[in-house]
Amino acid sequence: MKKLVIALSAVVTFSSPAISADMAAKAPMRAAPVTYAPSWTGCYVAGGGGYGFWNQQNDASDVVNNIQLSTSTTGGGRGYFGTLGGGCDYQVPVGNWNVVFGAFGDYDWASIKGDVNVPHIAAYGHEKMSSQWSVGGRVGALVTPNLLTYFSAGYTEARWDNVTLVNSVVPFINLPTGVFIGATTYKGYFIGGGYEYGLNFLPGLFWKTEYRLSDLDSKSNPIRFVATGAASGVEVHSQRYVQTIRSELVYRFNWGGSVVAKY
């Protein structure tokens, strides 16, 4: 028995270096992983809402007698809207900066309400901007890998619903009550600016806030009779401007956060 114990001790003693060497060969020390900043190149979808204002300048004319009835007056409205959109960005290095170029489009469902007063005519009504859509581009710079500041610009169209006018009296044409201005779409351009920030708790999720100013074209809107839809002979010329502040959640399809180098 004593000889067996001595033999086993010898086997363990002489085999230990071999075991240690084998273990070291199978588990070499590895260098620390290298991380890289994610790229903004790719596409996204976005949704959110905001608050908006619109302003208008109005003047009226008698188109039958070709007479301008008044100088311009101003009016406006305010309210809320929801928005959905999407786009694609491309990131490029420019000197010491990482610059992002992008194209996008969005649609707003709005309830931005105000009053219209027809100059020279004892007429007023309540009107609502019910929608607006925009397409355009943006260019910005990365302040940090997860924070983009940018400027935007593009084409836009906004729609106002029918306006029923009340207390309508025009002395020389005897315009009666029961008249309206039909729904009208205004076209123009917008400029804006904002920021977009990557939320750390979910890869691909961003928060974007943007201000926009839309300069819309001038329209001549005939006042019509409710009963027949016929033109009354009086038109309201209107120039409109829209300002919005929007905040949206953005999901980027290609975003995976920081990437760890493989070995």
8 Å CB contact between 63 and 234: yes
What residues does 136 pair with on adjacent strands?
104, 154
Residue 174, C-beta contacts closer than 8 angstroms, at least 6 positions apart: none
The tens digit of pLDDT for each residue in 197-228 reads 999 888 899 999 999 999 999 988 888 888 88
* Residue 110 within any structural domain of the chain: yes
Q: 143: domain range?
A: 52-80+88-197+210-241
Give me the number of domains the chain comprises: 1
Say how far apart CA 4 and CA 76 lie, in whole Å.
104
Q: What is the mean pLDDT of the chain?
A: 82
| Of 195 and 66, more confident | 195
Q: For residue 255, what pLDDT is reported?
A: 79
Q: What is the pLDDT of residue 117?
A: 77
Q: Is 38 within the bounds of a domain?
A: no
Tell me the backbone φ, ψ of residue 212, rounded to 5 degrees. -135, 145
Answer whether residue 26 is part of any domain. no
CA torsion 119→167→78→127, rounded to 10°?
A: -100
Flag whether 188 is in a domain: yes
100 belongs to a structural domain: yes
Rounded to whole angstroms, the Cα distance separating 202 from 257 reads: 9
Is residue 57 one of the residues assigned to a domain? yes
Nearest-10 Cα torsion for 221, 222, 227, 228: -120
Q: What band does 156 get if pLDDT is binned at 50, 70 and 90?
A: very high
pLDDT level of residue 20 (50, 70, 90 thresholds)? very low
| Residue 141 placed within a domain | yes
Asked whether residue 125 is assigned to any structural domain, the reply reads: yes
pLDDT of residue 10: 46
Closest CA to 85 of 148, 132, 150, 145: 132
| Residue 69 one-letter amino acid | L
